[in-house]
Structure 1
């Protein structure tokens, strides 16, 4: 229907701008929580309304309370006594009661109190839940005649003429809960003389009945000190239909005869209510309700004058502003009063239905009209109230699928609906599986329910990433096509009527390949990766390692949403050395962007640069140093196997990328040549023949020539010191044993240490280790200073075993170690009396392994310790600093003149 399509369009527009987002409702959560009813009541003129609900699939029994008796309201008793019940699609219940109902307690026809007993029960409840609601309504603006047209009864209340005392008011026969029917369950009015003798119905022929017979036939008759009330079920035999201005009206017309001995009096009471059918006309998008302006059947005292017309919903009046907000309209013409309501407007609700797996909806609303008119010169007035429930025919409303996919986010975003609020999602069917809503959300589908704040319609959104295996991926002419076929499994509550709705969507995406560029400065490789707004749908390989968050922090990675940059140091393990030149090393960095799904390369980038490096140094005392690096062309080379010409002269330090040699002009096979004014010392670094034969490799031989030139004509200054002559007698200091210990601290506070019994100590990779070395001497001689000469790690307890990983070299941290040692200052405290007797350093736990597949290894840490005399001002050992990290490689050593002794310490076994 065009009207429904227009409503759906308006709903979608509203959903885009004003949406109430909630999680997908679990079916258990939609059921009414046990032990809880949200009950409220309000007075609406001459009727009262009690709001209960939702019931959550349970049953509700309603009973009236009078004279301490509880009387169950059956449908017939409810229509006879002035009660009606309405329930929406979710179980929200409204109970309407006339103020003059059979069980109301009243005071002078001004205050009316009704007490109801509610019992909630059902199969899911362990025990019944009982509630009681009591409401007193004040109503003093009684008209001469009050007419109420409710969904199941017609009620007319008129003034009693003259000073006639009330007659007997007997409740209809009914069951009393918890006791047998008895006179105590009867509501008596004091008999002052006149009593009801006969009730005459006009059909339109006269049909007299006694009060007892009328009550047995379902009619309600009652009197108060000032009023007479007659109530009839709709479509009762004694009512008839009359056409009034083209609108069929159900007419109740009675005359009540009162008698007192030989006297009689008569009170006429008539009411007319529009029939449910015949007064309402429904178009594609509008409901129109017609009510005659002048109801001739009710006019009997002369000229008619309409004073007031009010409209409302669910028994409650609405002011003009509220009507305009809901797009209601009210028109008072010469013959009719017309109410116009859009289908789907606020105040009504859609009820879902399933027929032959087709989803249908019907719209229900209960408008109200209140009229006030006067008749003739007597100015008798009539207050006329009609509650008129209206339900449209079933509307074919197939849900629509709106594709809100944003290609850059690489996920399908589907909006499916609208549905009534009584619809819930059970599951989602995919080509090869069926998933519950919970499973979908765990898998990353993000299934959500959306409700409109101004209607009871809802829609569902489903987000499915392109990367999910339920999404089919194909390529057409270089364009990647993503397609998704799914079906929503739905149910209508509370009937649990199942139905489904399928959706097929596809998205075409031209992938823009991210780009990589970069260059070098004097220390780092600088890399820039641009990926625009497509997100990080790739991962980055730097060399042979994945760029992890720890590495990103180490490389000072910076990102702004469209690109990121980072800097890789020249000495980083990810860098490959290509060639060694006279004063530089040519190095190469390879960066690869990979597809996380297929593990294929998206983009490859390689950059080579020359970095200044001093590979060999010559010292005036004849000491020479050389640094050999492992080149990319010889990947199987083990630098620790390199030697000088003398095969017994191996590196002083080595790892898997470097070998560092220290030798003199008279050792390790160094040759000497005399040239004009120059003396040339030469040596060569290479693999020994024995090792080369064992490797049996086709890789080229590694060889590095080391040369030092000394100018024979250049003078050199030599410093010396003469021993001062002592004139006074003196005694030599006695030498005692000085002990040194190394400990492993639990944390950086250096307050708790592992005991001997705790070894071996297990640590995790990259976990920091906190070592402390202490001079164990009873003397508090502050003139002594403990200095770390060399610290290294080995796999075996033997400190001379290979391989060896140097941590501190010649008192300075190893500059080429990727896990550099951190030296901690020592401050005096209760345990530390002389800070100069302590040294503390920290190093990250790293894998001391030759076989990378073996991740469970042990290792030991060893240190060479020098004990210095700080009073010797000629030596600089105790004052040495390492601001120039190359001191370690250059091989500068302490002046032994200020050293008392050297000690060696080793830690216990540490497990990786």
Structure 2
């Protein structure tokens, strides 16, 4: 990053002291547009900061950002809290605060400074009034800030002979608001940092790094909304695939009842509404049909069991796989399958008696973990026991009325 070279060359000889404290409040700093005044140096015993932990220094070559001037030694690199690989001094996967002798803050925030990883584009100073208070450079893995110690909402104070400049940095995060609480699944932190000047002595101090602990694998997420709808799209061009075109449009509530003939495909989609978490998975525990709107009524006929085609059906239901090529923003929030229209018959006489069908699906929202991938396996001889799902994560959805047409003159093939 050529734009940063002049700045980084000023960092040699800087002493960085790091510490962590457990404050959890937000404070709005006030501006003190003062020029730093340097006092006569005093003799002090300095303890060099420890080298960056080894795990913080494991980066791909393409991710390494130079820290310090070319030719820096390993001791000089460690003095400014950076990593050294034998020939290059670079920033580690942490939060690094440096202070230059000409009165500049340099703050480098790594994506992997928190877990889950932080969105570095969401990081900003708490009071970024000036245009130059945003990041001066960065990548998807790092955000780099550089600004004068007298700007961007920095506060000024004196502490045992030191002139102390202090600032505050935070990250934004998405909050889901429900009727009984709010949650977030994003990492964020608050960073309180200082530059301390005494004559020619410069110290950088991290007072607070306050990452939010990672969320639970299953958390109360407000009310879930799931919708079952039937596709009505048709192929109108050569080479079109029926299973793709059918889901290009759907019946609305005003279209019901709709009519089908025996063995005509019924294209079913079940989707999760109002969620933007790409990790959660919508699963179908069971889908079945009844002859009236009551899902508990009889007769019933299974379409899917544990998300898989009911094996005793001669015309097996077809599950349509969905992935990134489906064009859906969140493919794991959807399930699609195709069933063939049928008629219920009398259990005693085996004569057709019901000309209406309602489709129902019992759904479950799954949160992947190390122990559970949420994947529904349909080809095992013996299926694993299902993981217990909280009742709040289960919903039942149903279709409108589908009428069986008796005349074969309308049958689609």
User: TM-score if structure 2 supplies the norm length?
Assistant: 0.40
The answer to which structure, 1 or 2, has the higher relative contact order (CA under 8 A, 6+ apart) is 2
User: TM-score if structure 1 supplies the norm length?
Assistant: 0.19
